[in-house]
Amino acid sequence: MTEGAIEASIETWRRRLRYALAAIYGFIGVVHLVATDAMLPLMPDWVPQPRLVILATGLCEIAGAVGLLTGRFRRAAALGLALYAVCVYPANLKHAFEHVHVEGIPDSWWYHGPRLAFQPVFVWAALWAGGLIDWPFGGRRGSGQGATEISGDPARPPKGPDPDAPATIREP
């Protein structure tokens, strides 16, 4: 497989992950808005105005989901969703260790163990899908530079435009 084909394959998987994350965060955001009261027991005691925080996080999840699908807001959305995944970790810990029962969610370590372990993967996934990091695939994303400037290899052609990026309008 050529280097160009590998890069195209990576970008295809990055785009697929953006769509998957947008679907997941969009769905969870709606759940936060329609089942707010069911989530109140998950909130740590130190969180002020927990109902408002749940509603705000739902709106942030939806905004992040939409932002991931746009060229203009993708990076900001990716960073916001990664930070969100870090910030909700205390609620996930409380849910697991205090055995808080929420209707429709299992209360066993078969559920909580993978969920807690997978949270850092959600952080990585948002950052990678948004083009903020390339780890573990190498390189450096988001600089706006072509591949020749990043790699320093003049034989390597620059990347083409991002097919998901918004079209630019050039004035005469």
Q: Is pLDDT at 72 greater than 70 in this prediction?
A: yes
Alpha helices in 35-140 (DSSP H): 36-39, 50-68, 74-87, 89-97, 109-129
- In total, the chain counts a number of residues equal to 172
Residue 155 resides in a domain: no
Q: Is pLDDT at 87 greater than 80 in this prediction?
A: yes
3-state secondary structure of 27: helix
Q: Is pLDDT at 170 greater than 60 in this prediction?
A: no
- 67-81, 97-111, 153-167: the lowest-pLDDT one: 153-167
3-state secondary structure of 62: helix
Q: Is pLDDT at 150 greater than 80 in this prediction?
A: no
* Mean pLDDT of the region 10-33: 95
**Paired strand residues for 102:** 105
User: What's the pLDDT score for residue 103?
Assistant: 83
Q: 161 or 95: which carries more pLDDT confidence? A: 95
User: What's the pLDDT score for residue 153?
Assistant: 42
- Provide, rounded to the nearest whole percent, the portion of the chain with pLDDT above 70: 80
Q: Is pLDDT at 161 greater than 60 in this prediction?
A: no
Question: Rounded to two decimals, what is the model's pTM?
Answer: 0.74
Query: How many other C-beta atoms are found inside a 10 Å radius of the C-beta of residue 20?
Result: 13
Residue 146 resides in a domain: no
Residue 30 resides in a domain: yes
* Mean pLDDT of the region 115-123: 93
User: What's the pLDDT score for residue 159?
Assistant: 55
Residue 147 resides in a domain: no
Q: How far apart are CA 18 and CA 127, in angstroms?
A: 10
Q: Is pLDDT at 36 greater than 80 in this prediction?
A: yes
Domain count, the chain: 1
Q: How far apart are CA 44 and CA 50, in angstroms?
A: 8
User: What's the pLDDT score for residue 162?
Assistant: 58
Residue 105 resides in a domain: yes
Residue 150 resides in a domain: no
Residue range(s) defining the domain that contains residue 45: 3-140
Cis peptide bond upstream of 106, omega within 30? no
Q: Which amino acid is at 75?
A: R
Residue 56 resides in a domain: yes
State the average pLDDT for the chain. Answer: 83
Residue 77 resides in a domain: yes
